[in-house]
Amino acid sequence: MARFIKDRSKSKGLAPGSLVFIGRQKMNKPELFVMDYNQNSLEEKQIHSLTEIEDYIHKDGVTWLNINGIHDLELIRELGDMFNITSLLLESVLNTDQRPKFESFDNHDAFILKMIHYDETIKQVVAEQFSLILGKRYVITLQERQGDVFKGVRERIRNKKGRVRLSDNDYLMYALLDAIADNYAIAIETVGRKIDELDGRIFKYNEKGLTEEIYTLKTELNYLRKSVRPVKDVVNSYLKAESPFFMEKNIVYLKDLNDSITHSAESIELYNNLVSDQLNIYNTNMSNSLNQVMKVLTIFASIFIPLTFLAGIYGMNFEYIPELKYKYAYLIFWILVLVIGIGLIIYFRRKKWL
Amino acid sequence: MARFIKDRSKSKGLAPGSLVFIGRQKMNKPELFVMDYNQNSLEEKQIHSLTEIEDYIHKDGVTWLNINGIHDLELIRELGDMFNITSLLLESVLNTDQRPKFESFDNHDAFILKMIHYDETIKQVVAEQFSLILGKRYVITLQERQGDVFKGVRERIRNKKGRVRLSDNDYLMYALLDAIADNYAIAIETVGRKIDELDGRIFKYNEKGLTEEIYTLKTELNYLRKSVRPVKDVVNSYLKAESPFFMEKNIVYLKDLNDSITHSAESIELYNNLVSDQLNIYNTNMSNSLNQVMKVLTIFASIFIPLTFLAGIYGMNFEYIPELKYKYAYLIFWILVLVIGIGLIIYFRRKKWL
Amino acid sequence: MARFIKDRSKSKGLAPGSLVFIGRQKMNKPELFVMDYNQNSLEEKQIHSLTEIEDYIHKDGVTWLNINGIHDLELIRELGDMFNITSLLLESVLNTDQRPKFESFDNHDAFILKMIHYDETIKQVVAEQFSLILGKRYVITLQERQGDVFKGVRERIRNKKGRVRLSDNDYLMYALLDAIADNYAIAIETVGRKIDELDGRIFKYNEKGLTEEIYTLKTELNYLRKSVRPVKDVVNSYLKAESPFFMEKNIVYLKDLNDSITHSAESIELYNNLVSDQLNIYNTNMSNSLNQVMKVLTIFASIFIPLTFLAGIYGMNFEYIPELKYKYAYLIFWILVLVIGIGLIIYFRRKKWL
Amino acid sequence: MARFIKDRSKSKGLAPGSLVFIGRQKMNKPELFVMDYNQNSLEEKQIHSLTEIEDYIHKDGVTWLNINGIHDLELIRELGDMFNITSLLLESVLNTDQRPKFESFDNHDAFILKMIHYDETIKQVVAEQFSLILGKRYVITLQERQGDVFKGVRERIRNKKGRVRLSDNDYLMYALLDAIADNYAIAIETVGRKIDELDGRIFKYNEKGLTEEIYTLKTELNYLRKSVRPVKDVVNSYLKAESPFFMEKNIVYLKDLNDSITHSAESIELYNNLVSDQLNIYNTNMSNSLNQVMKVLTIFASIFIPLTFLAGIYGMNFEYIPELKYKYAYLIFWILVLVIGIGLIIYFRRKKWL
Amino acid sequence: MARFIKDRSKSKGLAPGSLVFIGRQKMNKPELFVMDYNQNSLEEKQIHSLTEIEDYIHKDGVTWLNINGIHDLELIRELGDMFNITSLLLESVLNTDQRPKFESFDNHDAFILKMIHYDETIKQVVAEQFSLILGKRYVITLQERQGDVFKGVRERIRNKKGRVRLSDNDYLMYALLDAIADNYAIAIETVGRKIDELDGRIFKYNEKGLTEEIYTLKTELNYLRKSVRPVKDVVNSYLKAESPFFMEKNIVYLKDLNDSITHSAESIELYNNLVSDQLNIYNTNMSNSLNQVMKVLTIFASIFIPLTFLAGIYGMNFEYIPELKYKYAYLIFWILVLVIGIGLIIYFRRKKWL
């Protein structure tokens, strides 16, 4: 659960807009990668300094600068200066505890979102900060570390598949956000599959670790909800913002994105309901099983405790116990045992315990 | 529960609008069926290629093209070209995990919904993708497989019953959506009847499989909610969209449809409340029954355990136990047994356990 | 619970607006009753055919046609023709599973609501379909069977009590709806009284049938909510509709009606909270009582089981048990018994079990 | 709980606006008290007939007529005639089950609210009907019986404290409503203190009457919510109504009142959450304690039951039991007892039960 | 929990706007501290009387008056006179039970909020009243006692860090509110960490004090919600108020503040969900553990109780028990014991209890 909490002590008392990286550094050195394309040509290059990008920016065509690693404050500050980004926005870019949001500025639109994937090694949903800045002819994306979420988009740019090479940077932005929304759906689906696997187990007796797993899934869903639900507001407010950087003819794509996020948010609630139902049913089954156990105990004890008492009586050493001398006493004793035993069995049958 | 999850891996990383069928293929070869009618004439025909439809489209009168089976990407692409359908919409048509939605385009309106029926063989609610495109003088419907949901509509077209032959294609669309809404109501009613049947059983002792059934019903209701609730928004947004393809005089029918869907959505919530109440009450009954079991055990054990101890004492072999020699000892022992036994019974009576 | 479900199979696949009676027929032959009045004169009459009403309609003054029994499709159709009622509305009038709604047409306003009363013989809340059509100078009401809900209104018309004789047909409509709202309040109150009666019983031990009663009350409240809650929307949308059939000066009465329905809806939620609290508290009491039972058992068993073991030891027949021969052994045995017994009692006192 | 329900049977079937007192009469004879003041002079007087008030009304200055006791229908009717109050409003004034509401008329504004206090003798929150009519230069208040809620306001009028003597009747109305809002806060606080007192007790073992108290508090909060929550809407709709009887410069006071009521409503929800948490935690503690009890029983029984069996074996009277004759048998028996006993204790230690 | 309740008895019956300090006095003598600055100069000074501030106010530049300690009614009244603050607002400033609110006046804007910190000594979240008045060129802040929340802001003023020295008093207000929002985040985070620490413990057996801690955390979250949630409305209504005292260019800062508060409010709900899940899972684990305990008891008792009965039989002293004389009887007895014992073990294995 520790991932719910980010250490904010570094930023305490600082001026708003002070650049502090809040989070855990996940790479050594930031990587900068540029793709610059138009319908006819494509240039892609790993760059080492922001100054290298200037040429691309001033050319026609779409420039996509992707930065992996956001802990290098100097780089971020330089980026801010170059693209006129307010320090308040840069602060949010650096704060991995930032709630997903959209903000519109004079010279660019900015999105701060989460990327989500299910990490099979630690069996947890992992969220990473993702920022996107959409300006005139350029898109800047910032991730916490190298991932493969945008591989598909890059392939499409290289192979001229789909509309991305034919379109402007607003379509690129949509393609990137769509890739992220796809990843949400896949992470939620993974959690959904795990919930699905529990389905048979909640009816089995004495499943080891079931409550741990249910608890983990509930926590994952809480974590997903925290990351995904605010994105609905983000896309909605972008739809309403009528940004000059996003062409009206592409609005249909945003609506599609909106649908996708809404579907994800609804799935989280659906899965949450399903796990809660599973926990409730599991609890009911536990009570059922306790009832069964207690009935076995009660039947055994209730039948044999009186019989043991009876045997105890004729094990007493009183000098004068007339029955002891009677020849058929032992036979009668056994008959009595059978009568009491069968009587109690009939009694428990009536109570439907047997 | 597996049906909550569709395998989306095929679409991962693809360009938005890439045609991929997400779902389980339910037929071999798609079937295309055309009904073309006006007030006076009716033509109906199984066609084998989309080109056959062109003649009908250009005639006056309403053309209804129904396609069963949506996994043939080539066919869907051809359909898209012929009717100017965006690839983004075609992608949604093919994605059986698509959230119900309505979208309006320049040359047509599009609905993507679910058809629902309760499959008695697998004892589950089954949802299938249904898409409807309403253009100028034509209606195209796409289903995952042949069903009998629209049988009634076809009969009415053939027999000139109701208003459908007298009206335009917008009324046909309404008639089809109304048939689907009717099916929702019937599927929900089926689940409702199953909940009804549990009513007596939650008070019976030790009902086998009751928790499984309650869990199944809760899951069915979650599944129904997922399919039906978004349809309310769909119909509402269509009401507000003032589509040029839907005549204002028929708005009253849409409102009726809206009522029907609202009723279905409310019924799902109602049944959900009822099942939750049943589970709660069943749990209370389980506790009641555990209490009964424990009281029986406690009464038996508490009465006979002290008596057995008493018998144990006079079974001891100490050389010097004065009571053993006393002539009335055995009689007194029995009196003691009765006194203790009756005393404890009175005690438990007071506690109202007997 | 069966009353939550109406058999809709008859209407499946039929054209929208097909007249089918969905529900259980509650009378043999429909009864038609007309009251025609103005400030000075009153005529009231049982009629046998709709044609008899024509004269009244064309006169000045208010005509109120009340129909008991809505299963006679021919009559309903005739009514529709005479008053220009759309078949879609007639279908809703006949569908006793119809969600409460208001609709406005060119020549009349229509309300479809539920009448509710608590039937003491079956100990259930019973809802019946009620439709009201408000046209120019006339009011038509349709009920499933003869009831006494409108007795008060009729008396007031006859005795010139209140404003009804001095007012137009919109006030009559209000008076009728107000009578229905009053009946809601009374049915809810009856359920409320039953909840009140449970108040003392949830603290008593071992109350027979308590969970059944709580379950029944929860079900009644679900049923009431289903019938009453949509009526709030109905009255609200009528307030906004600014109907030409309802005079503005009488709006204050509608607001009063609105208050009354809101109060009823809030009462249902309030009682639902109260029953849920009762169930929770009852469950807590059950746990308390289980705890008590288990403590009695534990105290008895824990004290006597070790003592019985001790007695068992000296009942053994080993040849060499030195204690057996010791003269004070039996005395010491009893002292030991007392020490162990009192020690355990002190232990349980410390644990506050005694 | 009986106070949730008012007997409405008297009003059943009556015309809307019929004057019927619904509730329990709490005084013998209504008391009428007039305060008439302006900046310079103050007259106050117990009056015996409404005609006495006419002089005050026609004078300049503020006239406040307070009526204690609302069961005298004749008086209420006379009041209605004198101040032009509609019978519908009078009906609401007399109906102590009326939901809090505000209504605006041509010649006055009317509020129907509840006064609330915690009655220490019956240990319950008690709500009483309070109506206020604000006209031109006068304020009429109606209560069910004499209380001390307005003592503070009267003192301020008499001693020229605060703004009330310097202001018009709208400020007087605000002062009265503010006194009522203060009383809400105090009643809620009293319930809050009782919840606070439970805080330590839910962790104690075997608290007598705790569930009764929790249930009572939940019921009190339900009762408070019913009385207070609608008042928020009342104040809000008055703020929007822009009444001619309430001066704009005093709107700031209404906002303050709004804050106060919102705070009260939020406190009710807060306390409701707190009691629910207490009940949940208490239930968890009950389970904990049951676990403890069962572990003690299990440890005792599991250790001594096998040992008793062992002792039983050597108490058997078979002629041929070789061990009985062995000299060290008794010693070995004791060693066995110790080994089994200690072994089981170690086992339970491992399970962390000891 | 006592901190939920403030003693309001002092204010009962007083005129609205009467100055009464509601709360617990936390300092001896109020401290007044002035910072007056512009881009070039800074003056800061502890002052002893409000009259000293007049000079600063009339100078250009920003004047920030901070008052620690709000129990001195004379001082508050003087402040009110000097800055034209209505007594109603002053009453709210003094009422530490005041719900967070914003109010706009002709000559200033006023905020009443809570400062929050987690006090490690009493292990509780502590909220203190904070009021801020933003006028022309001045900011007045009132706290209950000296704290270090604004240390960072003061440092930035002194060291010319950030924008505060370059900006007007509206930015100072933002900086102060931002410091408070930061403190909210930190207090919530502290509670979050405590919840995090419970994560492992809910699966451990027999954790001492766990329910107490869960209850405490739930109470803390309730307390935080009460203080933080209304602040969202406060910031939102300020955003909409378009105050003349807050420059439009700084609105972006308010939006950032809004984000921060929304994030805090969402975190409280998130943590609340997590603790509720923990409690549910803990309860399930308790049931699991009870099941384990009962199974151990049942297995022990069910195996040995019949065997003890068997041994009891042959311990009886009947003269005629044929088996006793049979030579292999003892051997057969042991075989029987083994058969019964192993049989029961197999039976419990089948039931999966072993």
In DSSP notation, D8-63 reads: -GGGTTPPTT----BS----SS-EEEEEEE-SS-EEEEEESSGGGGHHHHHSSSEE
pLDDT tens by residue, E130-179: 999 999 999 999 999 888 889 999 999 998 888 889 899 999 999 999 99
pLDDT per residue of chain A (354 residues) written in tens, 0 to 9: 457 877 777 777 778 888 888 888 888 889 999 999 999 899 999 999 888 888 888 888 899 999 999 988 999 999 999 999 998 899 999 998 899 999 999 999 999 999 998 888 888 899 999 999 999 999 999 999 888 889 989 999 998 888 889 899 999 999 999 999 999 999 999 999 999 999 888 988 667 789 999 999 999 999 999 999 999 999 999 999 889 999 988 998 999 999 999 999 999 999 999 999 999 999 999 888 888 889 999 999 999 999 999 999 999 999 889 889 898 999 999 999 999 999 999 999 988 887
Contacts of A274 in chain B (CB under 8 A): 1, 4, 219, 222
Neighbours of A204 (CB within 10 A): 11
Contacts of E277 in chain D (CB under 8 A): none
Inter-chain contact A196–B330, Cβ cutoff 8 Å? no
pLDDT reading at D1 higher than 60:
no
Q: What pLDDT score does E192 carry?
A: 92
pLDDT reading at E307 higher than 90:
yes
Q: Is A13 on the interface with E (CB under 8 A)?
A: yes
What's the mean per-residue pLDDT of chain C? 90
Compute CA E65 distance to the chain's CA centroid, rounded to the nearest angstrom. 29
In this prediction, residues D34-46 reach a mean pLDDT of: 92
The distance between the two most distant Cα atoms of chain D, rounded to a whole number of Å, is: 120
Residue C118 has φ and ψ, to the nearest 5°, of: -95, 115
Query: DSSP per residue over D241-260, as a string?
Result: H--TTS-GGGHHHHHHHHHH
CATH number for the domain formed by residue range(s) B290-350? 1.20.58.340
Q: What fold, for C286-350?
A: Methane Monooxygenase Hydroxylase; Chain G, domain 1 (1.20.58)
What's the token pair of residue E25? 């006095």
Searching chain B, which residue's CA lies closest to the CA of residue A250? B88
pLDDT tens by residue, B54-94: 888 888 889 999 999 998 899 999 999 999 999 889 999 99
Inter-chain contact D320–E308, Cβ cutoff 8 Å? no
What's the token pair of residue B338? 């009765």
CATH number for the domain formed by residue range(s) D288-350? 1.20.58.340
DSSP A96: T
Q: Is A15 on the interface with E (CB under 8 A)?
A: yes
**Nearest in space to E167 (alpha carbons), one of E141, E123, E209, E137:** E137
Q: Is B322 on the interface with A (CB under 8 A)?
A: no
ipTM: 0.87
Choose among E15, E314, E317: nearest Cβ to D318.
E314
Pairwise CA distance, residues D75 & D55, whole Å: 18
Higher pLDDT, A28 or C172: C172
Searching chain D, which residue's CA lies closest to the CA of residue C249? D105
Contacts of A195 in chain B (CB under 8 A): 1
Count interface pairs A-E at CB distance under 8 A: 173
Please list, in sequence order, all residues whose beta carbon lies within 8 angstroms of the beta carbon of residue B48, skipping any fewer than 6 positions away: B32
pLDDT reading at D93 higher than 80:
yes
Contacts of A213 in chain E (CB under 8 A): none
Rg (CA), chain B: 34
Q: Is D205 on the interface with E (CB under 8 A)?
A: no
Q: Is D346 on the interface with C (CB under 8 A)?
A: no
Inter-chain contact E293–D294, Cβ cutoff 8 Å? yes
The ranges assigned to domains in chain D are 2-285, 288-350
Q: Is A175 on the interface with B (CB under 8 A)?
A: yes
Please list, in sequence order, all residues whose beta carbon lies within 8 angstroms of the beta carbon of residue B265, skipping any fewer than 6 positions away: B225, B228, B229, B231, B232
Inter-helix orientation angle A251-313/B210-241, to 10°: 160
Candidates D178, D262, D316, partner chain E, best to mutate (most E CBs within 10 A) = D316
Q: What fold, for A294-350?
A: Methane Monooxygenase Hydroxylase; Chain G, domain 1 (1.20.58)
Res. D2 pLDDT band, cuts 50 70 90: low
Helices (H) and strands (E) in chain E, counts: 9, 7
How far off is chain A from B326, nearest CA to CA, in Å?
8
Choose among E16, E99, E305: nearest Cβ to D175.
E16
Please list, in sequence order, all residues whose beta carbon lies within 8 angstroms of the beta carbon of residue D20, skipping any fewer than 6 positions away: D10, D11, D14, D73, D91, D94, D95
Q: What is the dihedral of CA C9, C15, C20, C23, to 10 degrees?
A: 40
Q: Looking at domain E2-285, which of 3.40.50.10860, 3.30.360.10, 3.30.460.20, 3.30.450.20 is its CATH number? A: 3.30.460.20
pLDDT reading at D32 higher than 90:
yes
How far off is chain A from B249, nearest CA to CA, in Å?
29
Q: How far apart are the first and last CA of chain D?
A: 46
pTM for the full predicted model: 0.90
Domains E2-285 and E286-350 share a fold: no
pLDDT tens by residue, C265-305: 999 999 999 999 999 999 999 888 888 889 999 999 999 99
Q: Is E41 on the interface with A (CB under 8 A)?
A: no
The β-bridge relationship of strands A124-134 and C109-119 is: unpaired
Contacts of E18 in chain D (CB under 8 A): 162
Query: Taking phi first (over 0 means left), then psi (-120 to 50 degrees means alpha), and beta for anything else, what does residue A34 get?
Result: beta
DSSP E244: T
Q: Identify the segments of chain B with pLDDT beneath 70.
A: 1-2, 205-206
Q: Is B321 on the interface with A (CB under 8 A)?
A: yes
Using CB atoms, list chains with 3+ pairs below 8 Å to chain D: C, E
D5: helix, strand or coil: coil
Inter-chain contact B309–C312, Cβ cutoff 8 Å? no
